[in-house]
């Protein structure tokens, strides 16, 4: 296979193998200015293809596969999460949930993890209305997993840490490597945690078309979600569908000798209840442009101590929540932009499908026709296993059984590619580099990586890793 084809082949993303001709493969080429046709390519099994690129088109125009049939009961719905785990990094701590196994929090420094605390082992699933899981409808909001066994001791309360896990349906996010992820982790009281898990596999009803869905429709997924941020003495909370508040929590000793949390000071920064009672009075405003956002107002909070307008009329505290597309639901900043009015910046994945936030990447269809007779089942199986074709050497295309094949030496990275180095790597051989750190060098040209977002990957080839600036020797 010619060397000039390597870069093009590495940029191919599989679209579908259901072509009219069983010997024909249809793929997508990420945006490229180059125009080519008649390019010869060879698969790992040795099959030869001739490929041509078509006209550019938007990613939204690419035909999507049909969705699978949805589970019929709550029990079968939650079975889709069996064996799945997800992590969420929040500052110093990283949280990990494994479905019906455990929840934990830990601090990772390179390959060292310390401390590592259990937030509870799975004990049971509680269903609203005391329904039986096998007969309950397939609604993820009905289920709550309880993790209250073998948690880390909480010295403040002299009891074990415990966690409740609730579930939500969410649309897949193309920027995520995992379909199932943690939306939020909140310590609602001392050593008691609330975790929200989101997954497309929990969706049972067709969602509104992303392009046509309004911001109000998309944001309904946040109803009941509360986000907190601690800044010095004060803590701030935004519960999307209801209110915003500012409060201070102190630890006090109860009559039985146990310590518990007590709200010592609290101010309402506004609520949405009045406007929610008047559907015609929408307070959800979409601001488009280079920095798109959705603004939601919260009004009628605690009376302001300052005469804001100087007219002797008592004004009430209010908040404008500015929501933007982000990987997790998080309250990322609070600013008092004017007296008794607050700006909350919130990131959420539910808005990433809104037209104001979607930026189509142009792609070009690529059709590859087999030049030699091939076994259909053999080629289809290989296509499913490979997300893209990446050849390091022409010899790698030949069959392993041929006598002229020789073992190629392992490709080693630059001298700076060592344990502890800050790097960026292509997760699972994909096209996007994610930042992380090398935690192990196997000495054969492969490395173990801890990514900054909490994921890990073993035996990553050096060819898929690059050093971050300042790490080169």
- Average confidence score pLDDT of the chain: 76
Q: What is the pLDDT of residues 343-395, one digit of tens each?
A: 999 998 888 878 787 766 666 677 777 776 544 444 444 444 443 334 334 44
Element (H, E) at 154: strand 153-154
> Residue 118 burial (CB < 10 Å; 0-12/13-18/19+)?
buried
CATH H-level, domain 211-356: superfamily = Mannose-6-phosphate receptor binding domain (2.70.130.10)
* Percent with pLDDT over 90 in the chain: 23
pTM for the full model?
Answer: 0.43
Among the residue ranges 23-27, 197-201, 211-215, the one predicted with the least confidence is 23-27
pLDDT of residue 459: 85
End-to-end CA distance of the chain: 34
422-467 has the same fold as 211-356: no
Give the tens place of pLDDT for each residue, 157-198. Answer: 889 999 999 998 887 655 555 578 888 999 989 999 999 998
CA 193 to chain centre: 20
CA distance 431 to 423: 15
- Sheet containing 465-467: order of strands: 456-461, 446-451, 433-441, 422-426, 465-467
Residue 467 contacts residue 423 (beta carbons within 8 Å): yes
Q: What is the domain class of 71-203 according to CATH?
A: mainly beta
What is the predicted pLDDT for the residue at 152? 93
pLDDT digits (tens, 9 = 90+) for 401-422: 444 433 434 555 667 788 888 8
Binning pLDDT at 50, 70 and 90, where does residue 45 land? Answer: low
Domain residues of the chain, as ranges?
3-65+360-397, 71-203, 211-356, 422-467
When pLDDT is cut at 50, 70 and 90, the band that residue 18 belongs to is very low
Residue tagged 């941020």 (tokens): 229
Q: What is the pLDDT of residue 215?
A: 84
On the question of pLDDT at 231 being above 90, the answer is no
CATH class held by domain 422-467: mainly beta
């Amino acid at each position: 296979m010619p060397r000039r084809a390597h870069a093009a082949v590495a940029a191919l993303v599989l679209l579908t193998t259901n072509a009219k001709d069983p010997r024909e493969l249809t793929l997508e080429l990420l945006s490229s200015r180059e125009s080519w046709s008649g390019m010869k390519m060879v698969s790992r099994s040795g099959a030869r293809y001739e490929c041509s690129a078509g006209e550019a088109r938007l990613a939204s125009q690419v035909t999507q596969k049909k969705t699978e049939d949805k589970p019929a009961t709550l029990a079968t719905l939650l079975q889709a999460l069996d064996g799945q785990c997800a992590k969420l990094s929040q500052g110093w701590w990283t949280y990990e949930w494994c479905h019906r196994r455990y929840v934990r929090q830990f601090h990772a420094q390179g390959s060292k993890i310390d401390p590592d605390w259990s937030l509870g082992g799975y004990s049971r699933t509680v269903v609203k209305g005391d329904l039986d899981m096998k007969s309950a409808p397939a609604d993820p909001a009905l289920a709550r997993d309880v993790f209250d066994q073998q948690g880390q001791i909480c010295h403040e309360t002299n009891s074990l840490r415990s966690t409740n896990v609730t579930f939500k349906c969410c649309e897949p996010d193309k920027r995520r490597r995992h379909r199932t992820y943690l939306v939020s982790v909140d310590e609602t009281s001392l050593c008691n945690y609330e975790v929200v898990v989101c997954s497309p596999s929990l969706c049972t009803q067709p969602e509104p078309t992303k392009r046509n869905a309004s911001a109000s429709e998309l944001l309904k997924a946040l109803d009941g979600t509360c986000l907190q941020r601690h800044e010095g003495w004060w803590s701030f909370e935004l519960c999307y569908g209801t209110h915003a508040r500012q409060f201070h929590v102190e630890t006090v000793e109860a009559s039985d000798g146990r310590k518990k949390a007590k709200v010592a000071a609290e101010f309402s920064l506004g609520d949405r209840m009045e406007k929610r009672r008047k559907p015609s009075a929408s307070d959800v405003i979409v601001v488009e442009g280079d920095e798109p956002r959705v603004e939601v107002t919260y009004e009628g909070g605690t009376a302001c101590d300052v005469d804001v307008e100087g007219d002797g009329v008592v004004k009430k505290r209010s908040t404008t929540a500015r929501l933007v597309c982000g990987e997790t639901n998080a309250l990322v900043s609070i600013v008092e932009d004017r007296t008794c009015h607050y700006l909350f910046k919130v990131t959420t994945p539910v808005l990433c499908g809104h037209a104001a936030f979607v930026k189509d990447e142009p792609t070009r269809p690529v059709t590859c026709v087999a030049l030699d007779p091939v076994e259909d089942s053999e080629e289809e199986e290989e296509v499913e296993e490979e997300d893209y074709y990446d050849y390091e050497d022409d010899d790698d295309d030949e069959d392993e059984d041929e006598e002229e094949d020789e073992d190629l030496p392992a490709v080693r990275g630059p001298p700076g590619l060592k344990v502890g180095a800050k790097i960026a790597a292509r997760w699972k051989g994909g096209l996007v580099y994610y930042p992380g750190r090398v935690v192990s060098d196997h000495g054969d040209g492969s490395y173990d990586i801890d990514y900054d977002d909490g994921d890990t990957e073993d035996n990553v080839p050096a060819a898929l890793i690059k050093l971050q600036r300042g790490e080169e020797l």
